[in-house]
Chain A
């Protein structure tokens, strides 16, 4: 191994002296690393990041070399995983979970020549960019379908962790369900996990037992769909991934994360030497958030209403958080026609008026 490294180094050196340095280096593939929070087969969040990695390989061919580490715990282990990847010669590393924020920043400080992209965080540095998707736009579409489809007027929501990302989704779904069905009620169950099929199935079952006939989820497995299928007459939505294996019932639509265009763009920037730290937050319009096909189990008028709101969001004509909206305690948040600013949305830690229950503290 050592000898081979020496030989390549010697070859590169002689190529340099012959004036062939530039092409020799240009053929070096760009090394791209990914740190995943779940297994690549989770069928949701990590699965979609890995699909994007495969699309990166298909797009660039020999010009890239990708590597990944799956099921990396958020915390001390993450810092080591990222460091080892940087040591192995990665040019750019995507860390794809919120809990990798501080580790990413720490490692980035030690490797100024490596680029880092952290998903769903808010800390940036010269060589650290952040990116996320406006999933709440998809939640507005889901909420519309949920509000029109529910017969019991009870919607169950499986939350992962009470962080702004998830709270934003609950608020967006509730506001739009309420708009089309003033009698709708939401019950939220916190699973405290991103991926745990057994817990998610339990949560779904508990919500169904309470009379919910719509289950929304912010966790990544398909277990809630299986529970809904067993119960019958309960509808669900794919999360992060299309989960179309459960269509047309119980899965009636989905929010699909589409990371590939962003990854390809950023890797291209590294190759061109034009990469700069960024803060990207894209939604339905640019295609980072996709709405999975609305199945035939949904009546035509509901489908039309859902697609209308989707198109309005995509064109920028409508923002899911447009006033008047009050906070849960009744204090005004947005005045008539006022649109929420990104800062408040990014740190959202309150429910909107009408939601019951408390955000866990």
Chain B
């Protein structure tokens, strides 16, 4: 009989080994899935995991795209992880992402057609501030009226989506757009664009910000008093209060930081890869980032790797779709499988598997 015995400490070895094992297991199960659909499983798995990185035809383009796709995920997930560590559940990063893009784009477009070096930095500040203020709504409602930040932040996503639609159809609509919805293309306005910094790397300012956020979060969590307070609050809120942690301030800090980072991600996306405010600008990065945060075990380096892995399955999945004719639903099943297995394998980190002799037991 197999039983699970709780480990006194999470296993260091399995913390590293489970993600690798999970990826291998997903490849095997995914291969079976693809084989059942009549596709060559080896080719399918290679297309998803190998081709985006090393295929002669695509890799030069796909590799930088990994960074483009991963950057907003990482940036948002880093912000979320601080709150999640402290038991503050911001589910509304998607809304903060949208509002950041809107405020940043609004500031830029209000100055159109002015051309000055300070416009882009100003938009960056406006984007971060927009996300921050949007996150302050659940923060203040929680600290003043003790509302549930999960519900409030989530509901505000839908509000943000309506404001986005209204902006794309109304106050930000491109006056030269023949009546179609959508703003001017910011990536084509030099003063407002967020281009590739080094050609062929995909690295725009959002990628730089994502890496900076990883480093800053690492330092904060491990070397700073505030990081200690965040961890303490998450592990034992009562003990934290006795230790003098101002829990209301912590709520404001965690939600505010997550909001500002999500707002930044939105701003970098709208001025770069997306290019314009459109009705469906919110592509779900804010929700996917929650998965990234947990996949990375709320650890900054883990989040970095998780963001890149998810980006890889997205891009590899796209290649598999049109090169092998796999339906997009099969790719989504495969991605879901990967996440499920990764999280399920966590049991090995916290539990020891024992094979117990029945008679003896």
Contact = CB atoms under 8 A, between A and B. Distances in A.
B319 A164 contact: no
Interface of B: 56-58, 61-62, 65, 68-69, 165-166, 169-170, 178-181, 185, 269, 273-276, 278-281, 283, 315, 318-319, 321-323, 325, 327-329
Given A69-B321, A70-B327, A84-B61, A122 B178 contact: yes
Please indicate which of the listed interface residues B61, B169, B269, B275 has the most CB atoms of chain A within 10 Å of its own CB.
B169
Interface stretch (A18-26, A75-83, A271-279, A283-291): A75-83
Interface string A228-248: 000000000000000000000
Contacts of A262: none
Interface of A: 2, 5, 33, 39-40, 67-71, 73-77, 79-81, 83-85, 87-89, 98-99, 102, 122, 161-164, 192, 346-349, 360-361
Contacts of B169: 162, 360-361
A148 to B, nearest CB: 31
Given A2-B56, A162-B169, A84 B180 contact: no
The 7 closest A-B pairs by CB, nearest first: A76-B273, A347-B179, A361-B170, A349-B179, A347-B178, A67-B322, A69-B322
Contact of A85 (B179, B273, B322): B322
Contacts of B178: 122, 164, 346-347
A74 B168 CA distance: 14
Contacts of B321: 68-70
A163 B180 contact: yes
A102 B180 CA distance: 12
A39 B328 contact: yes
Contacts of A122: 178, 180
A162 B170 CA distance: 11
B179 A84 contact: no
A28 to B, nearest CB: 16
A69 B321 CA distance: 6
A360 B162 CA distance: 11
Given A2-B56, A84-B319, A102 B179 contact: no
Contacts of B279: 161, 192
Contacts of A73: 280, 283
A57 B181 CA distance: 35
Contact of B318 (A39, A80, A163): A80
A67 B325 contact: yes
A343 to B, nearest CB: 9
B328 to A, nearest CB: 5
B278 A99 contact: yes
Given A163-B180, A361-B170, A102 B185 contact: yes
Contacts of A74: 278, 280
Contacts of B62: 84
Given A68-B322, A74-B280, A360-B170, 12 more contacts: A67-B322, A68-B325, A70-B327, A73-B280, A75-B280, A80-B68, A80-B318, A87-B58, A88-B58, A99-B278, A161-B279, A163-B179
Nearest to B51: A1
A80 B329 CA distance: 19
B322 A33 contact: yes
B283 A67 contact: no
A319 B65 CA distance: 48
A346 B178 CA distance: 8
Contacts of A71: 328
B58 A164 contact: no
Contacts of A348: 179
Nearest to A86: B61
A147 to B, nearest CB: 27
